Amino acid sequence: MHKSLCFALLAFAASLAAQPVTQLPYSPSLDLTSMDTSVQPCQDFYRYSCGNWTKQNPIPADQASWDVYGKLAFDNERLLWGILDRAAKGGAGRNESERKIGDFFQACMDEPSVEKAGTQPIDAAMQRIARIRSLADLSKAVTAGHADGTGSGTLFSISGDQDLEDSQSVIAFANRGALGLPDRDYYTKTDAKSVEIRAKYVAHVASVFELLGDAKSAAAAQAKQVMAIETELANSMLTRVEMRDPHKMLHKMDRRQFQALTPSFGWEGLFPALGIESAKLVNVTEPAFYQALEKALHVHKIEAWRAFLRWNLIRDASPYLSSVFVNSHFEFYSKYLRGVPQLQPRWRRCVRYTDRDLGELLGQVFVAQTFTPETKARTVAMTKEIELAMENDLKQLPWMGDETRKRALDKLHSIVNKVGYPDKWRDYSALSITAGDFGGNVLRASQFEDRRQLAKIGKPLDRGEWGMTPPTVNAYYNPQMNDINFPAGVLQPPLFDPKMDDAPNYGNTGATIGHELTHGFDDEGRQFDAQGNLKDWWTDKDAAEFERRAKCVSDQYSGYIAVGDIHINGKLTLGEDVADLGGTMLAYYAWKHTTEGQDLKAADGLTPDQRYFVGMAQWACGEVRPETKRERAITDPHSPLEYRINGVVSNMPEFAKAFGCKVGQPMVRENACRVW
């Protein structure tokens, strides 16, 4: 049997065999069996550390990629599956939280009821669109969609967020609307593959209109109308690189000025419908988009706008409707665009939807079962050590002047560390969850979250809020909150391993902590001050030196190939690349300080320093499908996994010393980059 076919069958069998669990399986944070020691570490450290992991863990048939993070997320989801399965069967003895998560999950898993419902969850919204005969009707229909959860990203999105210049204030934000393709560049690039993708997209839109009952010719004509409108709007949008500059997203206006950008839309009806009539100030992130929308409202006929709104509605709702829509959505967005052969099993999709919509109810049970006080204490201590390492680094930086240094230290000392879960859990009492009504539950959850976010406008800022649910296998830095956040889900083996010594733990979780900390001082984060305000606190000389050092990193990564003949966009990935490098260095210094005076011994044939670096590399073990690599090269601010390791260690003399690497070998850059 061909090896690739064998791996595919194994992955398929593993997916079918998945069962809910009551505790997480154990994997060490430094796994010798994942290493490929036939590869020289100075030639390709990523393959040396991870070569056997990818051989032993082929990408499952229902995944676009598969890596250590993804595998842990899968294990977390199996645990959540068990929690939800018990809650769904709990009967009268359940408390209200258990009832909500159980009924939501049960309704999602009830495929016969979902099939029977068909498009019923969105039929009223479809009928509303069918009645549009004028721009005034269009405004009313779009407003209703934003208000009831069926179209909160249609044409535009309105949200409540921190004022970029006054982080204590929450104001209204007007953002651009959603597109059907993953990024505006899909509409503007002229290479053969982009042309092919657009043609496939138009065919997909037409096929979905046919599923809705439209004649073939009418469906094809409407798909072309959708593509024409989306292309015009896409051309007005900022690129992802431009959006990394927060100044380009700062355009505060009063309601009258905002109305003037798109006078043909009935904004006077939208604000009261969303419960934000009192919001007098709006930050319009992309005024050019709203001007293009005004033009498009008059260029395209009403029937074209009906097609556009129908497409937005069915595109967003398809994953929650009957199987013909689920499968059609999967065939284009996952199978064609990302190369995924197989739809994820129903249980996994339902777990994810429940975590998304009721994450802090579900997260309370997850935390109780997985996250010990000891793990939290060790993580908090590690975070403080890494912050101390950054403080020492800032005090000694030869390229930074005293004035900027003082402000940098103020910002560092103001960072809030959030570990595991929120101090105060979210209140879901206003969200109605009904057994057997999956589509309705999703729409009500969408409306609930939209209203919860909008209700923040004009209210005191809640700095205790989290942007990720506790089971999430990820972490983040928020420049306006000036906080670093590490959910319980990411603090599990093999990422954080209480059974393992400090070297791999600092290399893995420590480097992640350092990564998020460094985001406060990357090309975007450095523009915000200690209070989270967009404010220039750099001297011209120090800012110029930062830019020079950051350009070294950008140029380095722009030289790497992402897939085929497509290079990494080093300007898009700059913040993550700077954070990867800075975080690994900070964690290394913190580990050295923590273990100072200890007689550390070699283990498993690796010196303590080698254990640090292998532990650091093994968080990134994994592989990505070629189609997904292509998409990520356009949309993802992270570099491909192998460069997130090799690109970092090639700049670190500590790594070269640990493995005896010499100048001229691939893992040693002659002109190493360093920002922090």
Yes or no: say if 636 and 628 are a contact pair by the CB < 8 Å rule.
no
Residue 316: count of CB within 10 angstroms of its CB: 20
Yes or no: say if 451 and 275 are a contact pair by the CB < 8 Å rule.
yes
pLDDT, position 11: 43
Cis geometry, peptide bond prior to residue 246 (ω within 30 degrees of 0): no
pLDDT, position 17: 56
Write out pLDDT tens, residues 205-257: 999 999 999 999 999 999 999 999 999 999 999 999 999 999 999 999 999 99
Q: What is the DSSP letter of 236?
A: T
Q: Which residues contact 553 (CB under 8 A, 6 or more apart)?
A: 570, 574, 577, 578, 581, 673, 675
Helix, coil or strand: residue 559: coil
What mean pLDDT, rounded, does the chain reach?
Answer: 96
Write out pLDDT tens, residues 46-81: 999 999 999 999 999 999 999 999 999 999 999 999
pLDDT, position 155: 97
Task: Return the domain boundaries, the chain.
Answer: 119-320, 371-424+464-659
Confidence of residue 3 (pLDDT cuts 50, 70, 90): very low
Crossing angle for the helix pair 373-396 and 402-414, to the nearest 10 degrees: 170
What is d(CA 81, CA 19) in angstroms, rounded to the nearest whole number?
8
Average pLDDT over residues 515-532: 97
Helix, coil or strand: residue 416: strand
In CATH terms, 371-424+464-659 corresponds, of 2.120.10.30, 2.40.37.10, 3.40.390.10, 2.60.40.10, to 3.40.390.10
Residue type, 184: R
Write out pLDDT tens, residues 335-357: 999 999 999 999 999 999 999 99
CATH architecture of 119-320: Orthogonal Bundle (1.10)
What is d(CA 73, CA 78) in angstroms, rounded to the nearest whole number?
9
Choose the weakest-confidence range: 11-15, 358-362, 608-612. Answer: 11-15
Model pTM?
A: 0.94
Write out pLDDT tens, residues 363-384: 999 999 999 999 999 999 999 9
DSSP 495-542: TS-TTS-HHHHIIIIIHHHHHHHHHTTSTTGGGB-TTS-B---S-HHH
Write out pLDDT tens, residues 382-400: 999 999 999 999 999 999 9
Q: Is residue 470 over pLDDT 90?
A: yes
Helix, coil or strand: residue 174: strand
In the chain, % of residues over pLDDT 90: 97
Tell me whether strands 281-284 and 166-176 are parallel, antiparallel or unpaired: parallel
Write out pLDDT tens, residues 74-124: 999 999 999 999 999 987 788 999 999 999 999 999 999 999 999 999 999
Crossing angle for the helix pair 373-396 and 574-594, to the nearest 10 degrees: 100
pLDDT, position 18: 83
Between 350 and 12, the more confident residue is 350
In the chain, % of residues over pLDDT 70: 97
